Amino acid sequence: MRGKFFAALTFIALGIGAQGFWSPADARISLEKCTLCHGKPEFRKILVDGKIRDLFATADSLKGSVHEKKTCVDCHFDVSEIPHRQRPQRVTCTHCHYKGNAEGAPQTDAYLDYFGSVHGTALARGNAKAPLCQDCHGSHQIRKAKDPAATVSRHEVPETCGQCHIEIYAQYKTSIHGVAVSKGIAEAPSCTGCHGEHRIYGHKDPKSTVFPTHVAEQCSTCHSSVSIMSKFGIEAEQVTTYQNSFHGVASKFGSKTVANCASCHGVHDIRPPEDPLSLVNPKNIPATCGKCHPGANPNFALGKMHVDAHKKESGIIYYTAQFFKFLTIGTMLALIAHIFLDMYGRTRRLRGE
């Protein structure tokens, strides 16, 4: 009985060992065979439209990336003979990247968000220009987002998105956020800071973080934080003053046409008010307000925009608020006192005093 058990164990152990030893070496194509051709520096193909497709790839191509330990055919798994006869298919990342995979890829379903996003739906509609995973994450040099060299790192994302969104990139690059990101300021938002990562939706989609009624909320994730804003000398109260203004209230109640942060400050071209190109520069305010309030004139710029009636700096507005505060308190105290005295008097008379 014991002998049979050990025999079975040995058999199983041998089987597992054999799989480990033999299968990759024999069943797959080794890296050396690929680099026979792809390792030549001049290995490239000239396409019909005149573009040059660089096909150079060596053992160093994956060095430093998260797939450092993978071989060519782990991803290009449709290459089964060398030289391959047709062009290999685009790499399908979901081959490994799904929750429950056995390949050692991160156990996450984050990629599913992509299919509902504006990029994923564009792809599903047959838009050949819609980006796939590798368009943002890179092909051979895929790195973790925290790695500064990654194409999806905070510092690099604007350039990555700008490959397609070139005009927006040009606006963003010179905006206060773009300049801050290029300076390496960790708090400054890159594209993904506002638009999200895999869950990017068009700005007209109510799911979007930049849908008109969500803009204020999205900006306030940083702009209402005193700890972040104090570093740059920006007032964090701009968020509350907006929320208390009619624009903020109407936006809260779902108005899509009322001004949100971006309506006045710009979308990608946000600049500090001192900048003459800024939409909220006093010189430009008539034009900016005039988008909604026809006939806006320089009077729109006379007085603080984000005005807080509870602050003494607001001047006449503060004193108006104070006057009404004391008027209301005084009047209501007197009136309520009169009511209670009336009730007290009635009670006395009822008791017959």
Partner 1 sequence: MSLNEKKEPKQDALEREVEAAVGEETAGLEPAEAERIRERVRARVLEEVERERRIRTAAERREEERRRREEKRREKYHEEGERFQRFNWNFRFQHMVMFSSVIILIITGMPIKFPDFVLSRYLVALWGGIHNSTLVHRIGAVMLIYFMVHHLVYTVLSRQGRRDFILLIPTPKDLRDAVQNVRHFLGKNPERPRFGRFSYIEKFDYWAVYWGCVIMIGSGLFLWFESITLKWFPKYVLDVAHEMHSDEALLATLAIIIWHFYNVHFNPDRFPGTLMWWHGQISEQEMKEEHPLEYEEIMAKRSKPEAAEVPHR
**CB of 299 vs partner 1, minimal distance in Å:** 5
Our CB check for partner 1 shows the closer of 283 and 325 to be: 325
336 counts as binding partner 1 under rule CB under 8 A = yes
Pick the closer one to partner 1 by CB: 283 or 348: 348
Structure tokens at 327: 């008027």
Please report how close the Cβ of residue 249 comes to partner 1 at its closest, in angstroms.
5
Q: Which amino acid appears at position 57 of this protein? A: A
> Is residue 231 a contact residue for partner 1 (CB under 8 A)?
no
Query: Nearer Cβ to partner 1, position 93 or 305?
Result: 305
Instruction: Identify the residue among 40, 45, 63, 325 touching partner 1 (CB under 8 A).
Output: 325
282 lies in the site for partner 1, by CB under 8 A: no
Selected from 58, 278, 321, 352, the binder of partner 1 by CB under 8 A is 321
The sign of the CA dihedral 160, 262, 119, 47 is negative
Residues in the chain: 353
> Judged by CB, which is closer to partner 1: 44, or 325?
325
Q: How far is the CB of 243 from partner 1 (least distance, A)?
A: 8
Question: What is the amino acid identity at position 245?
Answer: S
Q: Which residues contact 295 (CB under 8 A, 6 or more apart)?
A: none
Q: How far is the CB of 305 from partner 1 (least distance, A)?
A: 8
Q: Is 253 in the site for partner 1 (CB under 8 A)?
A: yes
Site stretch for partner 1 (CB under 8 A), options 111-119, 158-166, 195-203, 288-296: 288-296
Q: Does 284 bind partner 1 (CB under 8 A)?
A: no
Q: Is the peptide bond before 286 cis (omega within 30 degrees of 0)?
A: no
Q: Please give the structure tokens belonging to residue 101.
A: 């995979």
Using CB under 8 A, pick the residue from 46, 302, 313, 352 that binds partner 1: 302
Smaller CB separation from partner 1, 11 or 326:
326
263-272 LR contacts (CB < 8 Å, sep 24+) = 263/291, 263/292, 264/288, 264/289, 264/305, 266/175, 267/171, 268/168, 268/171, 268/172, 268/175, 269/171, 269/172, 269/174, 269/175, 270/175, 270/176, 270/177, 271/174, 271/175, 271/176, 272/176
Class of residue 139 by CB neighbours under 10 A (exposed 0-12, middle 13-18, buried 19+): middle
Q: Does 250 bind partner 1 (CB under 8 A)?
A: yes
Q: Under the criterion CB under 8 A, does residue 287 sit at the interface with partner 1?
A: no
Q: Which of 66, 93, 96, 317 binds partner 1 (CB under 8 A)?
A: 317
Q: Can you give 88-148 as a three-state secondary structure string?
A: CCCCCHHHCCCCCCCCCCCCCCCHHHHHHCHHHHHHHCCCCCCCCHHHHHCCCCCCCCCCC
Q: Does 338 bind partner 1 (CB under 8 A)?
A: yes
Residue 339: how many CB atoms within 10 A of its CB?
10
Is 345 one of the binding residues for partner 1 (CB under 8 A)?
yes
3-state secondary structure of 44: strand
Of the candidate spans 25-33, 202-210, 223-231, 341-349, the one that interacts with partner 1 by CB under 8 A turns out to be 341-349
Identify each DSSP E strand in 149-290 by its residue range: none
**Which C-beta is closer to partner 1: that of 44 or that of 348?**
348
Quick one: which of 278, 309, 283 has its CA closest to 296? 283
Interacting residues toward partner 1 by CB under 8 A: 243, 246, 249-250, 252-255, 257-258, 293-297, 299-305, 307, 309, 314-317, 320-321, 324-325, 327-328, 331-332, 335-336, 338-339, 341-346, 348, 353
